[in-house]
Amino acid sequence: MTEMIDTTVPAAPAPLPVQPPSGCPFDPPAEFGTLRAEEPISKISLPDGSWSWLATRYADIRAILGDTRFSSDTTLHGYPLSGMTGGGNTDNRGFIRMDPPEHTRLRRMVTREFMVKRVEALRPEIQRLTDELCDAMERRAGEPVDLIEALALPVPSLVISLLLGVPYDDHDVFQRLTGKLLSRTIADDEREAARIELRDYLDALVTAKEQEPGDDILGRLIVEQQHTGEISHDDVAAFAALLLIAGHETTANMIGLSALTLMQDPGTAERLRQDPTLIRGAVEELLRFHSIIRNGPRRVATTDIEIDGQLIRAGEGVVVAVPSANRDATVFADPDRLDVGRANAQHHVAFGYGIHQCLGQALARVELQVVIATLLRRFPTMRPAGPVEEIPFRTDMAIYGCHALPVTW
């Protein structure tokens, strides 16, 4: 009897869909829509040839991010590191890449610093900084101004530097290094060199602060946690790296994209100018619509888990497509439309979900509310200085946005 041999070569899974170079620059890859309908938990290949699961439905994504059997520990075998920002570094990785109980212990040390009440108290200072930067922009009227350089990056960068106690004069250093760490396209050795340079910079900073701890987050960590033996010098530096990186690149890109969207949609901009009480809801909708975290979060299963009928085995990785969840029509009606009056926009998962949900979300919200309202009020005629097709979108970065946004008014 002849044995039947299956000679079909299993097809390699498609790569993780990334922002297309053409089409609407605000929309996530079109493949997500098809996957949500047909194969919500699908296999994808990663740049190093390995594979991972990709989750695209809102409900599945909340189930995964809300289930601590899916680990954030990047040192675990099977964690889908390939193509991820920050690369595979494992030392001092920050609590974003840890599981309970260590994640809970470390996150708790800084939770109060980012609570709504604390952050609301910063609103006048954030407004003052924003006004100063807008004054400087006004003085340049008539010439194209890069909104990213003039406003979107400095506001969150100044605020997080102030909160942490990092000298803003060093912003060139940490912005350049952060940019490299968040690039999906630079060579591994260049990214590793940037990581080491940032580590050395923060190491020296923490050493200086150990002698003279200021009244800021790093100073308080040194006095209350390091001096009492709860954490080490290296832990303080890891806090600094995580908060510095997470604290300015994200909000900066949201500011840029939000400003551009409103320049492209004068009707909505006018509606917000007429009724500033809509700003809070508008920020939630802009967060949903843009979903700037484009290739994560990521997890690895620590045990066999079934999600939406698909078995994910222990040791298998999952890439969670936040931009896809936020365009899921079963949750958000007419999801591809920006609707600043949308009643349930705040249900978005742009800040993640579960125990790792964004620690800085209250701060990001206040920064976005202040900057967007101020721009609308002070620069009602602002428009892109050239064709939108020429804007360099961050298709090469894990955090989506614009590298530069030349505007005029």
Residues near ligand HEM (CB under 6 A): 65, 72, 95-96, 107, 242-243, 246-247, 250-251, 254, 292-293, 297, 350-352, 356, 358-360, 363-364
In the complex, minimum distance from the CB of residue 192 to ligand HEM, in angstroms, rounded to a whole number: 22
Q: What are the distances in angstroms from CA 284 to CA 69, 164, 338?
A: 29, 26, 11
What token pair was written down for 301?
């299963």
User: Which one, 171 or 385, has the nearer CB to ligand HEM?
Assistant: 171
Q: Which is nearer to ligand HEM, 80 or 297 (CB)?
A: 297
CB atoms under 10 Å from CB of 390, counted, come to: 9
Short-list 251, 240, 284, 199, CA closest to 113: 240
C-beta of 193 vs 358, nearer to ligand HEM = 358
Report the 3 state secondary structure along 228-245: CCCCCHHHHHHHHHHHHH
Q: Residue 349 and residue 326: Cα distance in Å, rounded?
A: 7
Q: Concatenate the DSSP letters of all residues of 119-137 into one string.
A: HHTTHHHHHHHHHHHHHHH
Of 153 and 243, which has the nearer Cβ to ligand HEM?
243
Q: Of the two residues 6 and 245, which places its CB atom closer to ligand HEM in the complex?
A: 245
Q: Based on CB atoms, which residue is closest to ligand HEM, 195 or 356?
A: 356
The reply to whether omega before 101 is within 30° of 0 (cis) is: yes
Nearer to ligand HEM, 107 or 273 (CB): 107
Q: How far is the CB of 389 from ligand HEM (least distance, A)?
A: 25
Minimum distance of ligand HEM from residue 203's CB (angstroms): 20
Picking from 292, 248, 287, 256, the residue whose alpha carbon sits closest to that of residue 156 is 248
Identity of the residue, 254 or 345, whose beta carbon is nearer to ligand HEM in the bound complex: 254
Closest CA to 294 of 317, 321, 312: 321
- Shortest reach from residue 57's CB to ligand HEM, in Å: 17
| Under 8 Å between Cβ of 277 and 373 | no
Closest distance of CB 81 from ligand HEM, Å: 13
Strand positions, DSSP E, 266-322: 298-301, 305-307, 310-312, 317-320
- Least Å distance, CB 253 to ligand HEM, is 7
**Of 82, 250, 289, 54, residue with least CA distance to 160:** 250
- In the bound state, the residue with its beta carbon closest to ligand HEM is 360
Residue keyed to tokens 């009928």: 309
Nearest distance in Å: CB 55, ligand HEM? 13
Q: What is the closest distance, in whole angstroms, from the C-beta atom of residue 4 to ligand HEM in the complex?
A: 45
**How many CA atoms does the CB half-sphere of 400 hold within 13 Å?**
24
